[in-house]
Chain A
Amino acid sequence: MIWTIFRIGWLHLKRDRVALLLTFALPIVFFSIFAVVFSDLDTDHLEALEAVLVLEDEGTTGERFAALLEQEPALLTHRLETGDGRALREIAAEQVQERLVDVGIVVPSGFADRLSDSSSEAPAVQVLADSSNPLAGELASGILNAVTVRLTFEELGMIDEASGGEALDSPFSFETIDVVGDDEDKSAVAFLSAGIGVMFLLFAVSGRSGILIDEKESGVLRRVLASKLSLGQLLLGHWLFLAALGFLQVTVMFVWGWAAFGLDLWTAKHLTGFVIMTAVSAAAAAAFGLFLASLCRTRIQLAGVSAVVILVMSALGGSMFPRYLMPEGLKKLGLLTFNAWALDGYQKVFWYETGLADLKPQVLVLVAVTLVFLLATRMLASRLVRDS
């Protein structure tokens, strides 16, 4: 008797391909994505961090410090030497803002004064970082720390394996300056609002787009199509509703981010950028949801397919962890997902403070995605009518 119940469970699973996919394939896909991303964090395989170096200290210790940095395999250092009249640290900050390099390192004049006089106030070595890429800042600080320990031992002649320098109080200090946003916590909130918002936008619209399947199964579709409404109008009506729903959902999330976590939403530039990005993201998500619904024959199938597709897209597209953590190959693969383009757009608005014109690539891609999915939905929906 119990065996019979067991067998029923097995037969149901065996014949439900989507459930099989969810049970066995999805975990493998996720495992692989996470493994590729995080194995890349292993220092043995770490891609070198690109840094621009501004050496303001003109002494030999500064030169030695620069040389040690340039020898560091985990850091690809370019030294900035001429600024055509502009302050070099300003140029370095611009390069970080424009994402030409991962970090900037400014070695101020007198940074090593404490080596000779431990009571003096030496200026800190500055790491110019992008808070939307906190890992780069952290890694750079770690590398600097290691380099200064070596420099300290060299300069003070204390390279002694027995002491290991454990008790040494570092004569150098570091300071990380966010040259993109001015508040790291708020930037993290903006990242989360966008990442989580876009993923749940996809879940919400794909779930609600199941109304198309309900209408087919209940016979409402036949009845509606026998009225004055055409199939195209029906799909357009559903798309408009889903897009409006998506817009509202993301708005609620960002307003909550502002109210509870201080997200900087209410500036004209941020608000305009937010409205543009949310409108095109919601439009594309709505079209994508309808496409999934027209592809599936039942609600159960839709739920399964949506879960697989949305979770994979969110993992690759940067909703679950930032794309800057990913190796180049995955980063490029991520661009095939809806999430990556939407998140890049939000990043430009909230972190990089770029002009609205800079949103053009993201807006164009998302509008194109919308049109492609709407057309595909219209073609697939004819099959829905035949099946109804």
Chain B
Amino acid sequence: MSIAVEDTTAPSLSARRVRKRFGAVQALDGVSFDLNPQEWLGLLGPNGAGKTTLMSSIAGLLRPDEGEFELFGQRVSPWASSRARALLGIVPQEIALYSLLSSRENLEVFGRLHGLTGPDLYQRVKWALGWTGLASRADEQIGGFSGGMKRRLNIACAVLHEPRVVLLDEPTVGVDPQGRRKIWHMLDELRNNGAALIHSSHQLQEIETTCDRVMILDHGSLLASGRVGDLADTLAAGLKTVTIFFNRPPDSLDLGEGFLIQGRIGEGSVRDAGRELPDLLARISSAGLEVVSLEVSTPDLEAVFSGLTGTELRD
């Protein structure tokens, strides 16, 4: 029962200068971005950055003070628009399910609330049970399910009506690595079937692995947006991270400004590895040390995040 979209060339979702204030706190401060069709967009930010407020505003659960959203080129007021509700799928961070109901019953309830009935509902529930791998436990109450099973059902209940934009708030929190990979696979399938995803997460590695693009939000403002690799390159402006493992902890060693030595490891940044590494190696040799291994790498997302927000992600 997917809803037809008039403008297939327009971004799936656009936010324009969205602002929202709660008392003295500016939760969103002029956020603008586009989400392209079939794009998987990561949303990163420390706690209180405004991620949930942004998600809730898109979902129509909060009314922004200023700004607007467009879905496929059409301005929407999600607060009241049934069209927007049909185009959007919301996966909350909580396991937002009825724990005394079975998987099938939960799917039927949320399918009906999204307007599915009769054979359509039956087909979509059947699809969801297969998609989540829960067909064999369809009629069990979900209270006894593992965290991963509940998370998969949590996602399925949000996409039964085949939304074109899916908002995922920490969809894998508390799930083991194997379970996470299963969920990534499910989300990839959704994207391949035509949905665009906004994926909020604390898992940097998850965002790096799964998302096409990442947006970093802090204090309600969008600090950066781009492909993960490009973002790191842009921010680091050509700097490379050098990590050196010594044969023993040095007594006294100076590798230059910005290098830290802890135990047998020295770490720092260089702008031109080809020209600067020989000097570093000479200093190490003069100190009577041997190099066990040496790595030169592009700064990762965590380094980008810390550089932009000045904080660790879990702070």
Partners in one complex: yes
A residues with a Cβ closer than 8 A to B are 218-220, 222-229, 385
- Tell whether, in the assembled complex, residue B59 and residue A226 are in contact, meaning their CB atoms are under 8 Å apart: yes
Q: List the A residue with the shortest CB-CB distance to B99.
A: A218
Identify A220's interface contact among B96, B114, B115, CB under 8 A. B96
Question: Any chain A CB within 8 A of the CB of B95?
Answer: yes
CB atoms of A219 and B114 under 8 A apart: no
Given A219-B96, A223-B157, decide whether A228 and B61 contact each other with a Cβ distance below 8 A. no
Given A219-B92, A219-B94, A223-B92, A385 and B114 contact (CB-CB distance below 8 Å): no
Contact across chains for A226 and B88 when beta carbons are under 8 A apart: yes
Chain A, residue nearest B78 (CB): A226
Most buried by B among A219, A224, A225: A219
- How close is A245's CB to chain B, nearest CB, in angstroms? 16
- Contact A229-B113, Cβ < 8 Å, known A220-B97, A223-B158, A385-B61: yes
* CA gap between A222 and B90 in the complex, in Å: 9
Q: B84 to chain A: closest CB distance in Å?
A: 10
Q: How far is the CB of B265 from chain A (nearest CB, A)?
A: 43
Contacts of B97 in A (CB 8 A): 218, 220
Given A222-B61, A222-B90, A385-B61, residue A227 in contact with residue B96 (CB < 8 A): no
Determine if B96 and A222 form an interchain contact, defined as CB atoms under 8 angstroms apart.
Answer: yes
| B92/A222 in contact, CB under 8 A | yes
Q: Is the CB of A226 within 8 A of B94?
A: no
Complex CA distance for A307 and B259, rounded to whole angstroms: 66
Query: In the bound complex, what is the Cα–Cα distance between A223 and B161 (angstroms)?
Result: 13
Identify which of A219, A224, A225 contacts B95 (C-beta below 8 A). A219
Q: How far is the CA of A218 from the CA of B143 in the complex (A)?
A: 13
**Does any Cβ of A come within 8 Å of B60's Cβ?**
yes
User: Across the two chains, which residue of chain A brings its CB closest to B89?
Assistant: A226
| Residues in B whose Cβ lies below 8 Å from that of A385 | 61
Q: Does A226 lie within 8 Å of B95, measured CB to CB?
A: no
| CB pairs A–B below 8 angstroms (17 shown) | A218-B94, A218-B97, A218-B99, A219-B92, A219-B93, A220-B96, A220-B97, A220-B98, A222-B61, A222-B96, A225-B61, A226-B85, A226-B88, A228-B82, A228-B85, A228-B113, A228-B115
Chain B residues, Cβ within 8 Å of A225: 61
Min CB gap A88→B, angstroms: 66
- Chain A neighbourhood of B85, CB < 8 A: 226-228
- Distance of A218 Cα from B98 Cα, bound (Å): 8
B305 within 8 Å of A (CB atoms):
no
Contacts of A229 in B (CB 8 A): 113
CB neighbours of A220 from chain B (8 A): 96-98
Interface residues on B, range: 20 to 34
Q: Which 8 A-B pairs have the closest CB atoms?
A: A219-B94, A219-B96, A227-B113, A219-B92, A226-B90, A223-B96, A220-B96, A226-B59
Q: Specify which chain A residues have a CB less than 8 angstroms from the CB of B158 in the assembled complex.
A: 223
How far is it, in angstroms, between the C-alpha of A44 and the C-alpha of B86 when the chains are bound? 74
Q: Does B72 contact A (CB under 8 A)?
A: no
Q: B113 touching A224 by the CB < 8 A rule?
A: yes
Which chain B residue lies CB-closest to A229?
A: B113
A3: min CB distance to chain B, Å: 36
Determine the chain A residues whose CB is within 8 A of the CB of B95 once the complex forms: 218-219
Residues in A with CB closer than 8 Å to B99 are: 218
- B98 cross-chain contacts in A, Cβ below 8 A: 220
Is B110 in the interface zone, CB < 8 Å from A?
A: yes
Contact of A226 among B60, B93, B115 (CB under 8 A): B60
Residue of A nearest to B96 (CB): A219
Residues of A within 8 A of B110 (CB): 223, 227
* A interface majority secondary structure: helix
In the complex, residue of chain A having the shortest beta-carbon distance to the beta carbon of B88? A226
* Chain A contacts for B115, CB-based, 8 A: 228
From residue A208, how far is it (CB to closest CB) to chain B in Å? 13
B55: nearest residue on chain A (CB-CB)? A222
Interface residues of B in 109-130 (CB under 8 A from A): 110, 113-115
Q: How far is the CB of A254 from the nearest CB of chain B, in Å? A: 29
16 further interface pairs, Cβ-Cβ under 8 Å (given A222-B61, A222-B96): A218-B95, A218-B99, A219-B93, A219-B95, A222-B56, A222-B59, A223-B96, A223-B157, A223-B158, A225-B61, A226-B61, A226-B85, A226-B88, A227-B110, A228-B82, A385-B61
Tell whether, in the assembled complex, residue B114 and residue A228 are in contact, meaning their CB atoms are under 8 Å apart: yes
The B199-231 residues at the A interface (CB cut-off 8 A) are: none
- Complex Cα distance A223/B157, Å? 9
CB-CB contacts below 8 Å: B61-116 with A: 61, 82, 85-86, 88, 90, 92-99, 110, 113-115
Cα distance A72–B90 when bound, in Å?
78
**Bound complex: CA of A224 vs CA of B94, how far in Å?**
13
- Name the distance in Å between B81's Cβ and chain A's nearest Cβ: 11
With a CB–CB cut-off of 8 A, which chain B residues contact A228? 82, 85-86, 113-115
A375 vs chain B, min Cβ distance (A): 21
Q: Give 1 or 0 for each of B231-272: 1 = CB within 8 Å of chain A CB.
A: 000000000000000000000000000000000000000000
How far in angstroms is the closest Cβ of chain B from A385? 7
Contacts of A222 in B (CB 8 A): 56, 59, 61, 90, 92, 96
Shortest beta-carbon distance from A134 to chain B in Å: 46
* Complexed CA–CA distance, A225 and B97 (Å): 13
B82: A residues at CB distance < 8 A: 228
A356 to chain B, nearest CB (A): 39
CB-CB < 8 A to A219: which residues of B?
A: 92-96
A12 to chain B minimum Cβ distance, whole angstroms, is 26
Give the docked Cα–Cα distance between A346 and B82 (Å). Answer: 45
CB distance from B150 to the nearest CB of A (A): 11
Complex Cα distance A225/B90, Å?
10
In the assembled complex, the Cα of A48 lies from the Cα of B61 at a distance in Å of: 63
The docked-state distance in angstroms from the alpha carbon of A227 to that of B96 is 13
A381 to B15, CA, bound (A): 28
Q: Are A218 and B113 in contact (CB under 8 A)?
A: no
How close is B291's CB to chain A, nearest CB, in angstroms? 52
- B residues 33-63 with Cβ under 8 Å of A? 56, 59-61
Closest chain A residue to B98, Cβ basis: A220
Interface centre among A218, A223, A224, A225 (most CB of B within 10 A): A223
Q: Which residues of B have CB within 8 Å of A223?
A: 90, 92, 96, 110, 157-158
Of chain B, the residue at the smallest CB distance from A234 is B113
Q: How far is the CB of A384 from chain B (nearest CB, A)?
A: 12
